[in-house]
């Protein structure tokens, strides 16, 4: 695979960023936010000129990314790498970073095959009501969503409509 030159890398990244942005999706909008001429943005997108450092910095600032991210060749990036706003992630509290890492692990763990899942075992003998084991297995295998995470009384409150009584004026 041939290595792209800096003009091509900048053009590809600028196009990708513009396509992904709702607010900076045109040359005019990028130029206005970056404080450079629209024609300059056009020439950079076409790879016609070598960018000046102040132009690259202005474009990176407009998209709220680093100059390094703007000039990095993403075409050779591994498909498994997740694109995300690294600056916004760095500002998150440690607790939220931990939650993100745990969520990724949770999603990855769901990809295991049924043969890899250990069967349910009971550590001590207890009397179980009829059908409890089957209901537990079904509950364990359900996909998590807002409805399955609600407590029983919360679900009842939402699904049970209140009956409205009309009072007659003669009473």
Each of the 171 residues of the chain gets a pLDDT tens digit; together they read 455 688 999 999 999 999 988 899 999 999 999 999 999 999 999 999 999 999 999 999 999 999 998 998 877 655 556 777 777 888 889 999 899 888 888 888 877 655 565 666 656 666 778 888 788 888 777 776 766 666 555 555 555 555 556 665 555
Domain that holds residue 37: 6-81
* 26 and 73 inside one domain: yes
* 48 and 69 inside one domain: yes
* 44 and 95 inside one domain: no
* 49 and 108 inside one domain: no
* 74 and 97 inside one domain: no
Q: What is the CATH number of the domain that holds 66?
A: 1.10.260.40
Residue 20 tokens read as 């992904």
> Residues near 7 by Cβ (< 8 Å), separated by ≥ 6?
44, 47, 48, 49, 50, 51
* 94 and 75 inside one domain: no
């Amino acid at each position: 695979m041939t290595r792209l030159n800096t003009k091509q890398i900048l053009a590809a990244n600028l196009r990708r960023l513009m396509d992904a942005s709702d607010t900076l999706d045109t040359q005019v909008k990028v130029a206005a936010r970056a404080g450079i001429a629209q024609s300059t943005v056009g020439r950079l997108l076409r790879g016609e000129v070598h960018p000046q450092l102040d132009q690259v910095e202005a474009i990176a600032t407009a998209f709220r990314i680093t100059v390094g991210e703007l000039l990095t060749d993403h075409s050779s990036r591994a498909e498994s790498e997740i694109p995300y706003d690294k600056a916004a992630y760095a500002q998150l509290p440690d607790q939220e970073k931990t939650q993100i890492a745990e969520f990724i692990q949770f999603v990855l763990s769901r990809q295991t095959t049924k043969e890899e899942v250990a069967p349910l075992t009971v550590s001590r003998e207890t009397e179980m009501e009829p059908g409890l084991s089957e209901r537990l297995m079904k509950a364990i295998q359900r996909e998590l969503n807002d409805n399955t995470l609600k407590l029983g009384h919360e679900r009842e409150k939402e699904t049970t409509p209140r009956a409205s009584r009309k009072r007659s004026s003669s009473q």
